Structure 1
């Protein structure tokens, strides 16, 4: 049962695989400092146990998926230094666990 997955500062590129959303026991996910592009997979909302998510320093685009609002244990959401656009969904803004 995988609880933490850290792949930071490598040269991974392309899309973040939507299958990451199948790792339902994942608590910490850090894919920062890579070259991931396109959008953040909506399947990350399947990770109800997720407490920390860092996708900083990639080339992610489009908007933050509202499905992240299902991550009720999320304490850290770090999406800085990307090319995200659009609004932040109310489902995410209403997460009381975010500090």
Structure 2
């Protein structure tokens, strides 16, 4: 295995562990705002996926980059839809 692959795997495992520990310590009342803030992270994922897809290092890289763009955009759009629905619960009804 290459040095870059091992480094990437170590970073992935550490990020997964730290993320699980941090999310586990957040009070339940703050989970929805936390997930809404996670949409910004998904936006960063979209940018990275576009860079990978555009690099053209081979057809596998292009296909995986395209799939990453599709799934990250589904996450972003779904997250903002849920956030909008959550915010509508707090809006006052206008008198007609």
- Does TM, scored on the shorter chain, surpass 0.5? no
Q: TM-score, normalised by structure 1?
A: 0.29
Structure number with greater Rg is 2
Q: Which has the higher strand share?
A: 1
